[in-house]
Structure 1
Amino acid sequence: MKYAFLLSAVAVAISAVPAVAQDTAAPKAVTVSGSVGLVSDYRFRGVSQSDENTAIQGGFTIAHESGVYIGTWGSNLSGWGTFGGANMELDLIAGYKFPVAGGTLDVGATWYMYPGGYDNTDFIEPYVKLSGTAGPVSLTAGVAYAPKQEALGAWSANGTVAANVDYANGTGYSNPGAKGDNLYIWGDAAAAIPNTGLTAKAHIGASSGNKGLGPFATSVAPTGNYADWLLGVDYAVPSTPLTLGVAYVDTNITDRKAAYLQPSFSRGQDGVGSIAGAKVVFSLTAAF
């Protein structure tokens, strides 16, 4: 979260007049920050959630000087009505940040919601993130663990089962009511490129646990185990709150395994293309 500080200058003695310290503006106890953006493809941990189509996203965070914060973030999804009718993801976030070993430790949880959908498609995922710097490079390492929940269970044995479930009546699942968990470990790095306005960025992550599509084809890592990565650059437009971004995103999910994902995030379940394959993603973001 962003904290704004205004440091006062100390008046220098002039002639015989005693030095007088000017007023110092106290830091705000509560700050609000956020952003709204447009992306050419919404990729969550390397997998498209928007059927490789454009998504509008945005959110905000309210932070207290103690380190406690709450926030929300949302995006549109693919348009055929996954997650029991929802075409939108809405995340509720809460956590606590505090300094440690020259860096910042962030402990919190994200509640993933799909408005208009069924309750068993929502799930919670606690996380721990440690961020700091190494010279000019900003580094973040994180671990997120979603405990056993129906949204992460393997309700459908394969993609064919998931594609033919009678969602209106909740029938046709291989193992209805199943619960699963998921572990995600990741690392991020970013560094400004001098005199260019550009920031280079990189990400690598590994998912493990969630081995199937849950109710209404929900899932986080339906192939059980896979890795995702990203390489890109951001450009901060001078004198504006805008940032332009481009990134290469990919996973090691095979085309065969990606076909299993298709009923979850593909409009019309047409099975055309891989929503887990390599893609160049463009973004335009305005921060406030």
Structure 2
Amino acid sequence: MKFTYSAALLLLAALSAASPALAQEFAKPGVPQDPAEPQAAPTNPITVSGSVAVLTDYRLRGVSQSDRDPAVQGALTIAHESGFYVGAFASNLAGWGTFGGSNLELDAIGGFRNTVGSATIDAGLTWYMYPGGADKTDYAEAFAKLSGTAGPMTLLAGVAYAPEQQALGKWYRNGAEAAAGVYSDPGDKEDNLYLWGDGAIAVPNTPLTAKAHIGWSKGNGGLGPNATSAAPTGEYWDWQLGADYAIPHTPLTVNVSWIDTDISRREAAYLQPSFSKGQDGTGSIAGSTVFASLTAAL
């Protein structure tokens, strides 16, 4: 499961692609070059980028995946100048986010990114994996993003859709059935939809960037085969407000944000004890929180 996205989400992973530059590598046929003319440096068609981060909480679409405890994450992207890329994302997990066994989330990502005019289009597939977890934990989700800039402002709109899969099914109607280990509808398959928008604006003459996020989930209102759901309560909103501080002369960025959802304790009561810190049936892992992270670009 994944956004703080932060987070994380991270989140949800850092994705990039290089611009085509082959024309700069070769002289025109039959036209001698002036030896005094500066020559363009050869370009590498492959670029590698990545990051490592320490977070106070791993929030995926507003819901804690680390039991409201700190998390360490890493991301790596290998991009070709054509626009195609592959990547990976990893994070530790706890409680609800383990999908019944694993303490690790490992995502494989592939897609295509291209700039058309002033807009950038990014589309691909994320495969969510939970090594060592219970059966039927992994699932695939397609995504598409459109972003652009206007002066110091950057805007992004995205959609992610996971088609019907057992990992997203409504195997338990409530937390009591999950705690008893009694499936009400084993083998059920459900889909999941996530829509979101991000905005960022650089504060002139400072290393600060103000950021905002809002998202809407719609999916399984029960619990999957591992007593979790990609869309707790079936339909809900999440949001994040904060700022990045790029530490001058370093690859480090600090983020401080406020994250929240519109999932009330009353609405989530039927998910207990799964939907709580320590899975003890008290509190909520989707309540408001002050979030902080330190990210190093590699």
TM beyond 0.5: yes
2:42 corresponds in structure 1 to 26
Counterpart amino acid of residue 192 in structure 1: A
Taking a change above 3 Å as real, the CA distance of residues 279 and 262 of structure 1, as seen in their structure-2 partners, is farther
Correspondence for 1:223: 233
- Offset of residue 130 of structure 1: 0.5
Q: CA deviation at 1:99?
A: 1.9
Separation of aligned partners in 2, 1:263 and 1:87:
19
| 1:277-288 equivalent positions in 2, closer than 5 A | 277-288=287-298
127, 138, 148: which one aligns with 2:154: 138
Query: Offset at 1:117?
Result: 1.4
TM-superposed CA distance for 1:164, in Å, is 2.4
1:203-234 per-residue CA deviation (whole Å, 9 max, x = no partner) reads 00001122221011132102111010100001
1:115 match: secondary structure: coil
| Residue 39 of structure 1 pairs with residue 55 of structure 2 | yes
Q: 1:120 aligns with which of 107, 129, 136?
A: 136
Distance 1:63 1:260, change over 3 A: farther
Task: Select the residue among 60, 66, 70 that pairs with 1:54.
Answer: 70
Secondary structure of the equivalent of 1:104? Answer: strand
1:262 Cα offset (Å): 5.0
The residue type equivalent to 1:278 in the other structure is S
**Tell me, which stretches of 5 or more residues in structure 2 are unaligned?**
1-15, 25-33
Match of 1:94 in 2: 110
Instruction: Measure the CA separation in 2 of the matches of 1:27 and 1:185.
Output: 37
Q: Distance in 2 between matches of 1:5 and 1:177?
A: 47
Partner Cα distance (2:167, 2:140) in 1: 10
Q: How does 1:251-266 map to 2 (within 5 A)?
A: 251-264=261-274, 266=276
Structure 1 residue ranges without an equivalent (≥5)? 9-17, 166-171
Q: Give yes or no for contact 1:152–1:182 (8 Å, CA) kept in 2.
A: yes
User: Does the residue aligned with 2:253 lie in a helix, a strand or coil?
Assistant: strand
Are the aligned partners of 2:212 and 2:239 in contact in 1 as well (CA < 8 Å)? Answer: yes
2-side partners of 1:261 and 1:74: how far apart? Answer: 26
What amino acid is aligned across from residue 199 of structure 1 in structure 2? T
The 5-angstrom pairing of residues 1-288 of structure 1 reads 1=16, 3=18, 20-78=36-94, 82-165=98-181, 172-264=182-274, 266=276, 268-288=278-298
Question: What CA distance in whole angstroms lies between the structure 1 residues aligned with 2:82 and 2:285?
Answer: 41
Q: For this pair of structures, how many residues does the alignment match?
A: 272
Shift of 1:19: 8.7
Q: How big is each residue's C-alpha offset from its partner over 1:120-171, in whole Å with a ceiling of 9 and x where there is no partner?
A: 1111000110011123211110011100001111111111112221xxxxxx
Following the alignment from structure 1 to structure 2, what is the Cα–Cα distance between the partners of residues 44 and 261? 17
- Report if aligned partners of 1:3, 1:28 keep a CA contact under 8 Å in 2: no
After TM superposition, give the deviation of residue 258 of structure 1 in Å: 3.2
Give 1:185 deviation, angstroms. 0.5
Are the equivalent residues in 2 in contact too, given 1:228–1:252 (CA < 8 A)? yes
Contact persistence 1:50–1:266 (CA under 8 A):
no
The aligned residue for residue 12 of structure 1 is none
Q: Please give the secondary structure, in 2, of the residue aligned with 1:195.
A: coil
Contact between 2:192 and 2:219, CA under 8 Å: does it hold in 1? Answer: yes
Change (3 A) 1:263 1:67: farther
Q: Distance in 2 between matches of 1:144 and 1:278?
A: 24
1:2: how far off?
5.4
Identity of aligned residues (%): 61
TM-score norm. by structure 1 comes to 0.88
Query: Residue by residue, what CA displacement relative to the aligned partner does 1:179-219 show, whole Å, maximum 9, x if unpaired?
Result: 10011000001111112211110000001122221011132
The whole-number CA distance in structure 1 between the counterparts of 2:176 and 2:117 is 50
CA distance in 1, matches of 2:85, 2:122: 10
The two structures have a TM-score, normalised by structure 2, of 0.85
